[in-house]
Structure 1
Amino acid sequence: MNRRLLGAVAAVVALVLGVGALFLLLPERGQGPAAAPASTTSAPATPTSTTTAPRVLVDGPVGVPTRIEIAELGVDAPVMAVGTTPENAQEVPSSLDATGWWRDGAEPGAPGNAVIVGHTASVDDAVFDPLVDAEVGDEVFVTGSGGTVAFTVERTETVPVADFGDVAADVYRSEGDSGLVLMTCGDWNGNSFESTVIVHAVPTGA
């Protein structure tokens, strides 16, 4: 993460046609948590290739990720590279069926946390609907141009939207051991999503 963006980070859930979309706001240092209106949208990110590469396990960065697989949850989905909007919000995938890797952070397998987000839908289906059921020990495979890196779920947490700033530094860690963070919306109350589901994983065998 750009060092000037290492201040408080707030998760704001946008409700669009019953779909929970994470907008991770990145305020300047010293500013309080920002809030985006529910109608805020960002320019659609361009999907990366959705072709599944042969699973060649590597120990290290895999480059730009193109696919994520979590067999225990039935997730097998393309990964889009998403960035940061002019409002300092993390972009989200334009499709319910795709996930979004934050390209301004770490690559999967590199030092720091690679952050991948996906939609949860209050009606119909979305790619990360099952994420709330992730359990310690579940295995996650992330494939990129440099091969596939395997992660194992280490812990999960559900954080109220208003409290996301308390865990932001951990989620967006840019140094240290390699990790993977998966996020989606949680706790639909009939009108909006009240929390963020966060899954933390470490390289398998670490």
Structure 2
Amino acid sequence: DKLPTVPSPTPEPTPTPRPKMPPPTRIQIPSVGIDAPVVEVGYKIVEIQGVKVIEWEVAEYAAGHHNTSANPGEGGNIVITGHNDWKGEVFRTLERVKLGDEVILTSDAGVFRYRVTEIHYRKEVGVPLEERIATGRFLDPMPEERVTLVTCWPYGIDDHRIIVVAKPVG
């Protein structure tokens, strides 16, 4: 018997490179009263239990856009963090966000609208490093456009992270 022939794989089409877009400058979540400026933030490498990990800065009195994450309209993971209980409390009400709520990002390129599709509560204090690293995966580059919002929780205790994911409208 002859073995069935398998067609050779076709080469992947080269994606059209997306233009570099400007970073977000404002975030609004009308349903919970969030309206804050967005500034760029960077990171440093720190060692925890002998493992080198990225520790991101958190902006004071503003939301912080991770400077290596995507910008609105580029297609990718747009990561924005903010304090919930000090230095501006810009994400104080993020814990009240519900699925379907609108997230609006403004940049020099215009206004970009997203809808909340996921809300995660992840323990941060007193969990194994592997679990903390798994939580950090939400900040990784992603192929599809999305906004990932992160803050500490609960208010004044901060032993968890709230992670809110929103996808483009339309």
TM score, norm. by length of structure 1: 0.62
Moved over 6 A (4+): none
The counterpart of 1:73, out of the listed 26, 29, 32, is 32
In the alignment, is the contact (CA less than 8 A) between 1:156 and 1:200 conserved in 2? Answer: yes
* 1:100-158 alpha-carbon deviations (Å, 9 max, x no partner): 00011111232221100010117x96111110111001001100111111010001011
Amino acid at match of 2:37: P
The counterpart of 1:159, out of the listed 105, 112, 122, is 122
3-state secondary structure, aligned to 2:56: coil
Q: In the aligned structure 1, how far is the partner of 2:72 from the partner of 2:101?
A: 17
TM score, norm. by length of structure 2: 0.74
In the alignment, is the contact (CA less than 8 A) between 1:151 and 1:180 conserved in 2? Answer: yes
Query: Structure 1 residue 64 and structure 2 residue 28: aligned?
Result: no
Amino acid at match of 1:77: A
Q: Which position in structure 2 is the counterpart of 1:196? A: 161
Query: Structure 1 residue 148 and structure 2 residue 111: aligned?
Result: yes
Alignment RMSD (CA, Å): 2.1
Identity %: 31
Q: In the aligned structure 2, how far is the partner of 1:89 from the partner of 1:177?
A: 24
Q: In the aligned structure 1, how far is the partner of 2:40 from the partner of 2:114?
A: 19
Query: Structure 1 residue 115 and structure 2 residue 82: aligned?
Result: no
Query: Structure 1 residue 90 and structure 2 residue 56: aligned?
Result: yes
Offset at 1:89?
Answer: 1.5
Q: Any unmatched runs of 5+ in structure 2?
A: 1-18, 47-53
Q: In the aligned structure 2, how far is the partner of 1:175 from the partner of 1:119?
A: 24
Q: In the aligned structure 1, how far is the partner of 2:103 from the partner of 2:144?
A: 17
The counterpart of 1:131, out of the listed 66, 82, 94, is 94
In the alignment, is the contact (CA less than 8 A) between 2:60 and 2:88 conserved in 1? Answer: no
3-state secondary structure, aligned to 2:55: coil
Q: Any unmatched runs of 5+ in structure 1?
A: 1-59
Q: In the aligned structure 2, how far is the partner of 1:103 from the partner of 1:109?
A: 15
Offset at 1:168?
Answer: 2.5
Amino acid at match of 1:112: G
Q: Which position in structure 2 is the counterpart of 1:99? A: 63
Q: Number of matched residues?
A: 140
Amino acid at match of 1:66: T
